[in-house]
């Protein structure tokens, strides 16, 4: 049974309101391509209202600004309890709107409360320093919240992205305007309702669903917005950097795409490596920025590996994401499905060897078979561009030095992995591969305690980890003259 859709309006100043224009847009279910709900379509006028509400909530005498830091944390702890209470509903809603298989959406919503609690625990650990300046003076630093933050979300893991950005901004004492992706607005609205229920004062969090070119652009160009945190494509990330520079020099955190290399050495535990290589690229139908989309396999095990990888891809059970036995669901929308099928065609035309999958599944919904290409060369399009779909590209290599160079020959630098039983090989690769996260003999293992972000074009700044609040804080130096040295 389809989950109930409780919220389809804009969330501004703790109220559910229609868009000023009265417009709505449909959100489509990836399983069958049918309209799930019509959602209020926010644009510049609504962003204006939301930013004003967030600005009022950030006034120095506001309830939010005068709240003890530990009490901010308590609201987030309460929010964590509510997410725990509604975990099953949120998982179903995520799967319905985004196409994520329920095994994954449930994993996310059952671990979400602890993720929120970790960030909540940082709210009252923001500390400055005393500075030993020369002379009869006393100097110290204050770390203060930046102000109104614009949080622009992608569609691939909507709940996780909402939590990473919103809880961190709020723990730091900022206020926020969230712009969810137009493909997946529903879980952001459901989470906003839970934050209201947890006792968040009016205006501290606002959610404005709408399109990037209208609502998103208005947010990134708004002079009362102090910071943008964005997860999405490299192209839009660059536009956001430009908008930030053109107006009030906003702070910017960007989490962009990837073309992550996973290296399998001859001495690897083969069974483990095959399992993680598939998991690393087929999770969420390849719609994760850290997908292991360049799989480098050493020549001694190459043929055996290709055969096994094709067998794993063919064995994955494709089906309705709501079905608990499903291992592979649909792409998020028709555009992404065609984009991925286009890459598969390019792979064939440019001479890669298709050893599994390669086709659309059925005619309703946006399903693509888990696909494996062997004999992929570094200069092929499928080895260079982010596909963001279920396509495993296998490349052959001979030596560690060679594979480090080839792994780094990309403008991206988000994640990397290696399977080897030689600790020195693992350490050497981990030191020299250009990536924000490196996994050794595993892949996709993550948690709120570890920083996450990219080298090179994969992003700017870090999310999660014990210093994540710093991205939402300014450092102020206060220097006080003393009557004499004492």
> CB 205 → ligand TXE: shortest distance, Å?
17
> CB 314 → ligand TXE: shortest distance, Å?
25
Nearest 5°: the CA angle 410, 412, 414 is 135
Q: Say which DSSP state 149 is in.
A: E
Contact 73, 171 (CB under 8 A): yes
173-193 exposure pattern, b = at least 16 Cβ within 10 A, e = fewer: bbbbbbbbbbbbbbbbbbbbb
Three-state secondary structure call for residue 287: coil
d(CA 3, CA 31): 14
d(CA 217, CA 44): 8
Nearer Cβ to ligand TXE, position 100 or 301?
100
Query: Where does residue 13 fall: left (phi above 0), alpha (psi -120 to 50 degrees), or beta otherwise?
Result: left
CB half-sphere exposure, 203, CA atoms < 13 A: 17
> CB 151 → ligand TXE: shortest distance, Å?
10
Q: Which of 92, 94, 182, 255 is catalytic?
A: 255
Give residue number: closest CB to ligand TXE: 212
141-164 exposure pattern, b = at least 16 Cβ within 10 A, e = fewer: eebbbbbbbbbbbbbbbbbbbbbb
Q: At what angle do helices 69-85 and 87-98 cross, to 10 degrees?
A: 70
Please provide the size of the chain in residues: 486
Where along the sequence are the contacts to ligand TXE (CB under 6 A)? 152-156, 179, 181-182, 211-213, 216-217, 220, 231-233, 236, 239, 255-257, 289, 386, 388
> CB 238 → ligand TXE: shortest distance, Å?
10
> CB 188 → ligand TXE: shortest distance, Å?
10
Annotation says 255 is catalytic: yes
> CB 439 → ligand TXE: shortest distance, Å?
17
Count the helix, strand and coil residues of the chain and give each as a percent rounded to the nearest 5. Answer: 40, 20, 40
Contact 327, 345 (CB under 8 A): no
Nearer Cβ to ligand TXE, position 96 or 388?
388
> CB 65 → ligand TXE: shortest distance, Å?
28
Nearer Cβ to ligand TXE, position 86 or 182?
182
d(CA 336, CA 308): 28
Contact 206, 130 (CB under 8 A): no
Active site residues: 255
């Amino acid at each position: 049974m389809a989950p109930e859709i409780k919220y389809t309006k804009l969330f501004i100043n703790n109220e559910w309101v229609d868009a000023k224009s009265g417009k709505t847009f449909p959100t489509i279910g990836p399983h069958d391509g049918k309209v799930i709900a019509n959602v209020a379509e926010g644009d510049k006028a609504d962003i204006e209202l939301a930013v004003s509400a967030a600005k009022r909530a950030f006034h120095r005498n506001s309830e939010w600004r005068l709240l003890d830091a530990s009490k901010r944390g308590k609201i987030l702890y309460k929010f964590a309890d509510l997410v725990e209470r509604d975990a099953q509903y949120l998982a179903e809603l995520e799967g319905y709107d985004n196409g994520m298989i329920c095994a994954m959406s449930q994993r996310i919503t059952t671990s979400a409360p602890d993720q929120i609690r970790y960030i909540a625990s940082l709210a009252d650990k923001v500390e400055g320093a005393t500075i030993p300046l020369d002379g009869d003076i006393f100097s110290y630093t204050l770390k203060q919240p930046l102000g109104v933050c614009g949080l622009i979300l992608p569609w691939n893991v909507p709940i996780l992205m909402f939590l990473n950005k919103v809880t961190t901004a709020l723990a730091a004492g900022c206020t926020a305007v969230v712009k969810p992706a137009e493909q997946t607005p529903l879980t952001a609205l459901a989470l906003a309702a839970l934050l209201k229920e947890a006792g968040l004062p009016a205006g501290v969090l606002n959610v404005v669903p709408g399109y990037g070119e209208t609502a998103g652009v208005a947010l990134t160009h708004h002079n009362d917005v102090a910071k943008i945190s964005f997860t999405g494509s490299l192209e839009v990330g660059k536009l956001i950097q430009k908008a930030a520079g053109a107006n009030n020099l906003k702070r910017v955190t960007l989490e962009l795409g990837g073309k992550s290399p996973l290296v399998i050495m001859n001495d690897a535990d083969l069974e483990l490596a095959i399992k993680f290589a598939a998991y690393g690229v087929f999770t969420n139908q390849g719609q994760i920025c850290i997908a292991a989309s360049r799989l480098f396999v050493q020549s001694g095990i190459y043929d055996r590996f290709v055969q096994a990888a094709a067998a794993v891809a063919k064995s994955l059970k494709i089906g309705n994401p709501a079905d608990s036995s499903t291992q592979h669901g649909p792409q998020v929308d028709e555009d992404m499905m065609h984009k991925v099928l286009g890459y598969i065609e390019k792979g064939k035309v440019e001479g890669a060897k298709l050893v599994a999958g390669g086709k659309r599944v059925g005619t309703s919904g946006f399903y693509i078979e888990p696909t494996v290409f062997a004999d992929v060369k570094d200069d092929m399009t499928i080895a260079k561009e982010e596909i963001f779909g279920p396509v495993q590209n296998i490349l052959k290599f001979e030596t560690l030095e060679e594979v480090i160079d080839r792994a780094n020959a990309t403008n991206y630098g988000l994640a990397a992995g290696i399977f080897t039983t030689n600790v020195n090989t693992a350490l050497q690769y981990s030191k020299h591969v250009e990536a924000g996260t490196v996994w050794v003999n595993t892949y996709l293992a993550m948690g709120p305690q570890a920083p996450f972000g990219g080298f090179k074009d994969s992003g700017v700044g870090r999310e999660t980890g014990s210093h994540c609040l710093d991205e939402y804080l300014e450092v102020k130096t206060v220097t006080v003259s003393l009557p004499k040295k004492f």
